[in-house]
């Protein structure tokens, strides 16, 4: 049963990823990306990460992708669709990507882990995943958390400065 | 091992039974909510009619009671027109995205004790996620129609929904902090234990922000700028007709019902009645929980109509200013107060 | 129970598809989407490792990745808008005025 769900999610994720990369129309790419995010959220649910699954949808699908859609619509790129989507040297790109995949899979072959942390499934289920994540995030990772907020602040200011129209003096 | 054993291993019977029970629950919830949607339109026309000293629909059936059914039949048999240069696939799926996003939020709403399709721990986050998806339907329909009015409506809506979603999420954080959970059933139970009985009293700031943000999220007056029939014709769904138009319409009303349910569950005590009221009027405990829940939901929906009949539409810059300069700071202040008070009490 | 390696292979495949897209497409927006794909591939591996090692660090790291992705998307799209104002295209090969 679990294997069946994993297979379904994996096939959908891979198919949607390929469609994101190969779509001629940027809006269609964004839509395939949306479908893919849902299936990634499904994989997170299989891994008992319900909070992350919800965050994946709220932040990735609800905020980042909407931003993409918004920008594509502002730019109104209808004529871009007539251009050939891949560059001439695409076989080089493909072979690089395949080489990367081979390296990754070969490297993963000898890789194994054993459970060593304190947050086993039973413990996480007892405290609920959100609470457990909060505990780790606000104690062990407090400083990185604050730095992340700083990064977001910088991004907000940077985006406003970059996208603002220059006032004519 | 026979094929039968492979397909149905021992113990699978319970799983199938569970799945069937869940499917029945889903069918019941969707059926009942769709009926409420049909009559919410009737209710709206009647309420607004009365507020404007009119009768509202009177022709079909006694007091116009069959009007929603007549409307539905009319929309069903209308011609389905697709603009010539529209992006057909996206044009087809946009209303479906809207409707699906609205309907799937129903899964986590506790209608009364123990009756919830999916009792998950991140229920509130799930509703926020689904309501953020609703904006996809609007943006995509605006883009795919290949029409200036629809396009402008779509752009306005995406900016509006993203802005007010932040305010709505932040206004619910206070509730999560008080209840210590994101599971809606747990939130309702925590409210029943709470002395005031409902979170709307201690969380009055959050409740205010939530109500305003909820109106903006569902694109209702006075924040109906994406539609704005007097400036943008009908906004994002101007090119839609027949059944697809009805899907958008249904999605909007389901969105309202969801916001009503959310307000009822998070701020107004869900299916419970505050203890001090029960102490005065003890016979109220014989009223089933579902009745209380539905009454609270309809109170919120009536409030929506009341506002629509009373307030004129905001300008776009005013809308953005309210969202970013008033609601979000208020919601953040509410979180701060709630946190400080919670620490002091403990 | 699904073995850990399946998740890691899935993550690497998604990462490599994203990498392929980044290398071969020249539409800025799709290149950004490819970066998001790569980040998602990494996220899948991190959450899977976190689950199988019974440690929440991987999930915390995923949250940070999501935050950084949001920041990156905001900045990147602002740059796209600024570029588009100077030259109405999102095709990277046509934007080459900045040489020297």
pLDDT single digits (tens) A57-102: 988 888 888 888 888 887 766 666 666 667 777 888 889 999 999 9
The residue extents of the domains of chain C are 4-99
Residues of A in contact with C14 (CB under 8 A): 13-14, 17
Structure-derived torsion over alpha carbons of residues B190, B193, B195, B198, reported in degrees to the nearest 10: 40
Q: For the full predicted model, state whether its pTM sits above 0.80.
A: yes
Tally DSSP H helices, then E strands, for chain B.
14, 0
Please indicate if any CB of chain B lies within 8 Å of the CB of A31. yes
Each residue's pLDDT tens digit, B208-239: 999 999 888 887 778 776 666 666 666 777 77
| The predicted structure's pLDDT at residue C37 | 92
| CA–CA distance, B10 with B1 (Å, rounded to integer) | 12
Q: Would you call C69 and A60 a contact, using CB atoms and an 8 Å cutoff?
A: yes
Number of domains in chain A: 2
Answer yes or no: do A77 and A150 share one domain: no
Residues of B with CB under 8 A from a CB of A: 15, 87, 89-90, 120-122, 125-126, 128-129, 132-133, 135-136, 139-140, 142-143, 151, 154-155, 158-159, 162, 165, 169, 181-182
What pLDDT, on the 0 to 100 scale, is given for residue C3?
85
> Which pLDDT score is estimated for C97?
66
CB distance A117–C55 less than 8 Å? yes
Largest CA distance in chain A: 67
Angle between helix B12-51 and helix B67-77 axes, rounded to 10 deg: 110
**Is A155 part of a structural domain of the chain?**
yes
Contacts of A51 in chain B (CB under 8 A): 122, 125
Does domain C4-99 bear CATH number 1.10.287.3510?
yes
From first CA to last CA, the distance across chain B in angstroms is: 60
Do A59 and A13 share a structural domain?
yes
Same domain, A70 and A2: yes
pLDDT of residue A40: 93
Tens-digit pLDDT string for chain C (100 aa): 788 888 999 999 999 999 999 988 888 888 889 999 999 999 999 999 888 888 888 889 999 999 999 999 989 888 888 888 777 776 776 766 665 4
Phi/psi-derived region of residue B56, left when phi > 0, alpha when psi is between -120 and 50, beta in every other case: left
Note whether residue A127 is domain-resident.
yes
Asked if B254 contacts B218 with a C-beta cutoff of 8 angstroms, the reply is no
Reported as a pLDDT band with limits 50, 70 and 90, residue A15 is: very high
- Give the pLDDT of residue B165: 86
Mind listing the pLDDT tens digit for each residue in A114-165? 777 777 777 777 878 888 888 888 888 999 999 999 999 999 999 888 888 7
CB proximity list for B82: less than 8 A, separation 6 or greater: B88, B91
Q: Residue A111 domain-assigned?
A: no
For residues A4 and A73, membership in a common domain is answered with yes
A19 plus A67 within the same structural domain = yes
C-chain CB neighbours of A36 within 8 Å are 37, 40
How high is the pLDDT of residue B276? Answer: 81
Q: What is the pLDDT of residue C51?
A: 87
> Which of A54, A59, A97, A121 is the best substitution to test chain C (most C C-beta atoms within 10 A)?
A97
Strands (E), chain A: none
Containing structural domain, residue A126: 118-169
pLDDT band at A167 (very low <50, low <70, confident <90, very high): low
In a domain, residue A105? The reply is no
Chain C residues touching A159 at Cβ < 8 A: 74-75, 77-78
Q: How far is C-alpha C57 from the chain's CA centre? A: 20
Q: Phi then psi for B345, rounded to 5 degrees?
A: -65, -40
Assign A167 to helix, strand or coil.
coil
Beta bridge partners of C25: A86
Determine which of C4, C7, C47, C92 to mutate to test the interface with A (most A C-beta atoms within 10 Å): C47
**Does the distance separating the beta carbons of A20 and C34 come in below 8 Å?**
yes
Residues 74-93 of A with CB under 8 A from C: 74-75, 77, 80, 83, 85-87, 89-90, 92-93
Which residue among C12, C81, C82 sits closest to A74, beta carbon to beta carbon? C81
> Is position A95 within any domain?
no
Q: Please state the rounded mean pLDDT for residues B18-39.
A: 88
Residue A77 lies in a domain: yes
Nearest-angstrom CA–CA distance, C8 and C10:
5
Question: Is residue A87 included in any domain, yes or no?
Answer: no
Q: Which residue of A has its CA nearest to B177?
A: A131
Distances (CA, A) of C90 to A86, B142, C29, C37: 14, 22, 7, 19
Tell me if A106 is assigned to some domain: no
**All partners of chain A with 3 or more CB pairs under 8 angstroms:** B, C
Q: How far is CA C22 from the centre of its chain?
A: 9
Last residue of a domain, one of A22, A53, A81: A81
Give the pLDDT of residue B94.
85
Chain B within 8 Å of A69 (Cβ-Cβ)?
A: yes
Q: Are chains B and C in contact at 3+ CB pairs closer than 8 Å?
A: no
Same domain, A1 and A74: yes
Check whether residue A4 and residue A77 sit in a common domain.
Answer: yes
Contacts of A72 in chain C (CB under 8 A): 29
Among residues A81, A104, A137, which one ends one of the domains? A81
Rounded CA-CA distance A124/A44 in Å is: 14
Residues A65 and A19 in one domain: yes
Per DSSP, helices labelled H in A47-116 are 50-55, 65-75, 90-109
Q: A77 and A124: one domain?
A: no
Is A132 an interface residue toward B (CB < 8 Å)?
A: no
pLDDT tens digits, residue range B74-117?
888 887 777 777 778 888 888 888 888 888 888 888 888 778 88
Question: Do residues A59 and A129 share a domain?
Answer: no
CATH of the domain at A45: 1.20.120.1200
Report the pLDDT value the prediction gives residue C98, as an integer from 0 to 100.
62
């Amino acid at each position: 049963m679990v294997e069946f769900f994993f297979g379904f999610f994996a096939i959908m994720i891979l198919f949607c990823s390929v469609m994101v990369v190969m779509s001629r129309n940027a809006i269609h790419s964004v839509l395939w990306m949306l479908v893919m995010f849902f299936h990634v959220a499904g994989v997170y649910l299989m891994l008992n990460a319900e909070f992350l699954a919800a965050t994946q949808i709220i932040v990735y699908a609800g905020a980042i992708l909407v931003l993409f859609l918004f920008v594509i619509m502002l730019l109104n790129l209808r004529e871009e669709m007539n251009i050939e989507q891949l560059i001439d040297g695409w076989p080089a790109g493909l072979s690089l990507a395949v080489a990367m995949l081979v390296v990754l899979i070969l490297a993963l072959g000898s890789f194994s882990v054993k459970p060593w942390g304190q947050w086993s499934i039973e413990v996480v289920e007892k405290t609920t995943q959100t609470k457990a994540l909060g505990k780790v995030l606000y104690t062990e990772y407090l400083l990185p958390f604050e730095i992340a907020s700083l990064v977001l602040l910088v991004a907000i200011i940077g985006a406003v400065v970059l996208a603002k129209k220059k006032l004519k003096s | 091992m026979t094929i039968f054993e492979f397909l149905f291993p021992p113990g699978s019977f319970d799983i199938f039974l569970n799945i069937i029970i869940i499917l029945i629950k889903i069918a019941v919830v969707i059926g009942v909510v769709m009926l409420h949607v049909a009559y919410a339109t009737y209710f709206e026309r009647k309420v607004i009619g009365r507020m404007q000293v009119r009768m509202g629909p009177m022709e079909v059936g006694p007091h116009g009671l069959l009007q929603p059914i007549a409307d539905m039949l009319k929309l069903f048999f209308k011609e389905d027109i697709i603009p010539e240069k529209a992006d057909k696939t996206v044009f087809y799926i946009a209303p479906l995205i809207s409707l699906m996003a609205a309907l799937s939020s129903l899964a986590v709403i506790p209608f009364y004790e123990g009756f919830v399709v999916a009792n998950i721990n991140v229920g509130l986050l799930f509703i926020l996620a689904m309501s953020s998806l609703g904006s996809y339907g609007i943006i995509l329909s605006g883009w795919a129609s290949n029409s200036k009015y629809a396009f402008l409506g779509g752009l306005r809506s995406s900016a509006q929904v993203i802005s007010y979603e932040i305010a709505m999420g932040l206004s619910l954080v206070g509730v999560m902090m008080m209840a210590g959970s994101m599971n809606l059933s747990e939130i309702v139970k925590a409210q029943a234990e709470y002395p005031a009985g409902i979170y709307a009293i201690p969380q009055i700031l959050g409740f205010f922000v939530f109500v305003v943000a909820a109106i903006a999220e569902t694109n209702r007056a006075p924040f109906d700028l994406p539609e704005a029939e007097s400036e943008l014709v009908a906004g994002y769904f101007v090119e839609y007709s027949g059944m697809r138009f009805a899907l958008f319409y249904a999605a909007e009303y389901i969105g309202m019902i969801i916001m009503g349910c959310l307000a009822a569950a998070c701020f107004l005590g869900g299916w419970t009645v505050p203890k001090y009221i029960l102490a005065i009027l003890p016979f109220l405990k014989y009223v089933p929980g579902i009745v209380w829940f539905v009454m609270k939901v309809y109170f919120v929906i009536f409030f929506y109509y009341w506002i629509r009949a009373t307030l004129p539409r905001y300008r776009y810059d005013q809308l953005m200013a309210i969202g970013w300069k008033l609601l979000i700071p208020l919601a953040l202040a509410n979180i701060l107060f709630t946190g400080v008070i919670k620490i002091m009490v403990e | 129970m699904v073995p850990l390696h399946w998740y890691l292979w899935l993550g690497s495949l998604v990462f490599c598809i994203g990498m392929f897209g980044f290398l071969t497409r020249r539409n800025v927006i799709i290149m950004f989407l490819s970066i998001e794909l790569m980040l998602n591939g990494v996220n899948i591996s991190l959450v899977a490792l976190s689950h199988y090692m019974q440690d929440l660090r991987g999930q915390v790291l995923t949250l940070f990745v999501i935050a950084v992705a949001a920041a990156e998307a905001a900045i990147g799209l602002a740059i796209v808008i600024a570029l588009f104002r100077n030259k109405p295209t999102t095709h990277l090969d046509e934007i080459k005025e900045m040489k020297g």
